[in-house]
Amino acid sequence: MKTSHDDFGAGYSSFGYLSKLPVAGVKIDRSLNTEVETSARQRAILRSIFDLAVACELDCIVEGVETAAQEEALKGLGATHFQGYFYGLPGAYAPTMAR
């Protein structure tokens, strides 16, 4: 079974896990895109993560997208999958199958 590596780029999320675990993708922590429209440093870091994901054949989801400007900046860097308040508020958990 393959999973996505959550909060990539923050806390205990290590690059080493990408080679040791059966990871299908990464979810980039929102702390890395809070100033993507104005920070050249954040854009460089994100572009590097997107390039790494492509090289490792991993899906890449950017968490914490809150504005159209963030989405456009991220698309310009090559992002294709997004998550955040810009798309909708979190919903209540609804189990899909009985145990």
Judge whether residue 78 has pLDDT over 60: yes
The model's pLDDT over 85-94, given as tens digits with 9 standing for 90+, comes to 999 988 887 7
Instruction: Identify the burial level of 86 via C-beta atoms within 10 angstroms of its C-beta, where 0-12 means exposed, 13-18 middle and 19 or more buried.
Output: middle
The model's pLDDT over 26-59, given as tens digits with 9 standing for 90+, comes to 889 899 999 999 999 999 999 999 998 899 888 9
The helix-helix angle for 40-55 and 68-77 (nearest 10°) equals 50
CA nearest 78: which of 41, 44, 40? 44
pLDDT band of 6, cuts 50, 70, 90: low
Q: How much is the pTM?
A: 0.78
pLDDT band of 7, cuts 50, 70, 90: low
